[in-house]
Chain A
Amino acid sequence: MVDIEIEIDGKVVHGHSGENLISIADREGIDIPRFCYHKTLSVAANCRMCLVDIEGNPTPQPACSTLSSAGMKVHTNNEKAKTAQKACMEFLLINQPLDCPICDQGCECELQDVAMEYGSNVSRFNEGKRIVDDKGIGALIQTDMTRCIHCTRCVRFGAEVAGIVEMGATGRGEDLKIEPFLSEGIQSELSGNMIDVCPVGALTSKPFRYEVRSWQMNSIQTIARHDLVGSNIFTQTHKSKVKRVVARDNENINETWISDRDRFSYQGVNNENRVLIPKIKIKGEWQDTSWDDALDFATNGIKKHAKEGSQFGTLASKNATLEELYLLQKFTRGLGSDNLDYRLDVSNPYNAKVLESNISLTELETIDHALIVNSYLRLEQPMINHRIRKATLNGASVSTINAKAFDFNYRVSHSVLTSPQNTVATLSGILKALLDKGSQTLPDYLNTVTVHQSHIDIANALLNAKHPVVVLGEHVNGNTCSDQVAKLVSEIAKASDAKTLNASLTGNTHSAERVNFKPDNGKNALQILSSDLTAFALFDVYPNFDCIDSENAIKHLSRDDAFVVVMNSFDDESVSSFANVILPIASFYETSGTHINVDNIAQSYSASVKSAGESKPGWKVIKVLADLLNLQGFDFTDSSQIADEALSLTPSISEIEVPINNSEMPNVTTVWQYTPYASDVVVRHASSLQQTRIGQMSEASVCKATAKLLELSEGDFYKGVPVNINESVAEGCVFVHTHLPRQLGVV
């Protein structure tokens, strides 16, 4: 790329030869109107709004598709250019309904903005306007296609960024209509971004429709807390309620996109199922009470039921803030307890050091091969998956090792179906193939391992790549050999010089690890929920969804001699059945906090709105509890002080040995995965997301042979989930993908 000089409006500017004029102009702050051009999408040049006068060309040329060359002289606002631009503006407005007074896009509308300068005051169009009848495209995006100016940004977004071609431009001429094939709704997990790219009010947020005008809202910078990325967002608030969430640019984290989960989960925060007032249980009956009384009740209960620290245990949601997790572990340890954990849905919690993440989000785009293990990455971590997809557009290949074949938005070259009980054997085979290739000495445990052709294929794909990455996902959490799986992934990466990304635990996991929210020698989550502890603190935990053995967890916490202090944001019947006191805490956007993402970037945010009802920010509740129990080191007046202290910690680096012995596992295992819209309590309460096809997924997939073994037929239910017999599932396993709570025992 050669550096060149061109002239725009008499000003000499620099660009690369072959760069289009509009991006040079944007960089130089020279204003050229446009609609169809978007810096992240391919050039369409169909709106014709960016027509400029280039000396030597008889007709005006679009700045977006004209490539610059040395010595070019461009005029963006001389008479020739302005005439063309105004002509285009007039054409755009003739069939526009001009219903700004009732259009949600009002005041954040590119058509309005450009029309201010290029439109005329009175229309010359006196004919009947064309009207488009809308096809619904689901619960998230509202369509008013009569307003559409056919820029095709949404179509290009779907094809190029989301990777699923769902929207198209049907018809011809004036009857050109942007729509999907059928009206069952757009399926992409990134679909909401179409709302952001649409320059007019044709695609708007359905949950937000007619709620409030954009200029009535405050826009507050914050972070989305659901996943490992921590996408940057704006919450837009009105009368202390979050009315809408939109994307905020951050090239290194989420570029300019956010997932639908990030965008629409705010509805959950506003859901009426919030805990709004402190409650205590007296003789089996719940009573609303004051904060003072509730806190006293809680601390007295803890003192009474946990004479020794070792009798006390804490469980926390992995979506809690860094500050909450830090104070909670300080609280727990301050009481003399080493029983604390956030890994509630893991059947065999292992030390995360076994498999670390050593590749950044931006680096992910540069890989040339990805091996994805135990993950439906597209739905689990949409923004991480997006980076990998970008890499595939540059030629990267992808292999997967999963219990079920999934629908990725890129081509998968090798797909190996493996049940959880065979995963260690499969990964061992691949490792052996890798080490054999490199003529390296095999560790003893690989001596008896059989290498199949599929293992060799995967090994070769890794070895042929210059920048491979191995990703481990959430399905491993139900595997009792999860530590061995993680260890083998790590060894495979070492043997193939690959980077690794541990996406098995989501949310604010990296904060939990940072503050060591795990037992050093004490009891982990499973043990807390099965041993004889008598006092518990639960922080935003809903065992029927969150705990791997939900039935047992609830039973255990319901014991007569157990005293359970619950600090929750939402009401839940099963929690109410075992809790002794419920302290309402602030939910997402209602508290300041910090999220550490997979790149180890700590992003702090302040509260966007006041917490609902009488709920309080979680860190304050923990601090007061600590003060009431006379624990030291809780002199905080501001959450940023907590963050500072927490971030100054260096996490422990103790290595642990993980012997690979492929311990006995049952003949048939279950993988239980929640839909991305049931992954945490906030998003579970977001009604619009629950109405989407992704949100409504509920299927227990099993292959014919295994179905026969389990005596299951089509139409039956497996652990409450409808059975679907198909051959896309590995033998010896049932893959459950659902939004239903895991209420029926261990998986």
Chain B
Amino acid sequence: MISNQAKKEIDIWVAKYPEGRQSSAVMQALTIVQKENGGSLNNELKQDVADYLEMPTISVQEVATFYENYNNKPVGKNVIRFCHNISCMLNGSDELISYLEEKLDVKTGEISKDGLVSVKKVECLCACVGGPMCQIGDQYYENLTKKRIDEILDGLK
């Protein structure tokens, strides 16, 4: 079930688009609903979004499986999206990702044992001048080093 709060937020997005074009809000609807659901989507939620926006469910599923930001399987409380594209790679992102995996005892795509973190390798986040970098939630963390990573992990709840 989509909460009333989520519906209010979705409605704000729907209002940006012309009458009858509420399906333009589907990407944000999925983002909002995903956030409420601990960071991932499931079939019921996608069905609810489809019903709310009066779209075919398969069309919602297409969107949910096309874009990188959606997690269709459960993830850790914090998802560390680590860029491994060319500019970050040239500045040592690979070593930092290995360090992160070692420190958390988790492989990319998996959830840490305490459920707090999962790590995802992502393509260019376009903060290349600050590479190596990663994104957690809304925030970019740039100019990463092993020490910076330690600090970030300590701060995660």
> Chain A interface (Cβ within 8 Å of chain B)?
164-172, 180-182
Contacts and interface: CB of A to CB of B under 8 A. Distances in A.
Counting chain B residues whose Cβ lies within 8 A of the other chain, the interface size class is 10 to 19
Contacts of B59: 165, 168
Nearest to A167: B58
A566 B2 CA distance: 60
Contacts of A166: 56, 58
Interface string B57-74: 111011001100000000
A398 to B, nearest CB: 18
B62 A170 contact: yes
A168 B66 contact: no
B121 to A, nearest CB: 16
Contacts of A169: 62
B3 interface: no
B43 interface: yes
Contacts of A167: 58
Contact of B62 (A164, A168, A182): A168
Contacts of B46: 181
Contacts of A168: 56, 58-59, 61-62
Summarize A's interface: helix, strand, loop or mixed.
loop
A180 B66 contact: no
B43 A182 contact: yes
Contact of B57 (A171, A172, A181): A181
Given A164-B56, A168-B62, 7 more contacts: A165-B56, A168-B59, A170-B58, A170-B61, A170-B65, A172-B66, A180-B58
Residue picked from B46, B58, B59, most chain A C-beta under 10 Å:
B58
Contacts of A164: 56
12 contacts: A165-B58, A166-B58, A168-B56, A168-B59, A168-B61, A169-B62, A171-B65, A172-B65, A180-B58, A181-B46, A181-B47, A181-B58
A182 B46 CA distance: 11
A130 to B, nearest CB: 16
A185 to B, nearest CB: 13
A645 B58 CA distance: 54
Contacts of A182: 43
10 closest Cβ pairs, A-B complex = A165-B56, A168-B58, A170-B65, A181-B57, A181-B58, A168-B62, A171-B65, A181-B61, A172-B66, A170-B62
A274 to B, nearest CB: 40
A184 to B, nearest CB: 11
A379 B61 CA distance: 27
A166 B65 CA distance: 16
A171 B57 CA distance: 15
Contacts of B57: 181
Nearest to B57: A181
B58 A171 contact: no
Nearest to B66: A172
Nearest to B65: A170
A164 B57 CA distance: 11
A180 B61 CA distance: 9
A194 to B, nearest CB: 14
A171 to B, nearest CB: 5
B66 A171 contact: yes
Nearest to A155: B58
A164 B43 CA distance: 19
Nearest to B55: A165
Nearest to A170: B65
A530 B58 CA distance: 53
A182 B58 CA distance: 9
Nearest to A169: B62
Contacts of B58: 165-168, 170, 180-181
Interface string B25-48: 000000000000000000100110
A618 B79 CA distance: 72
A166 B56 CA distance: 7
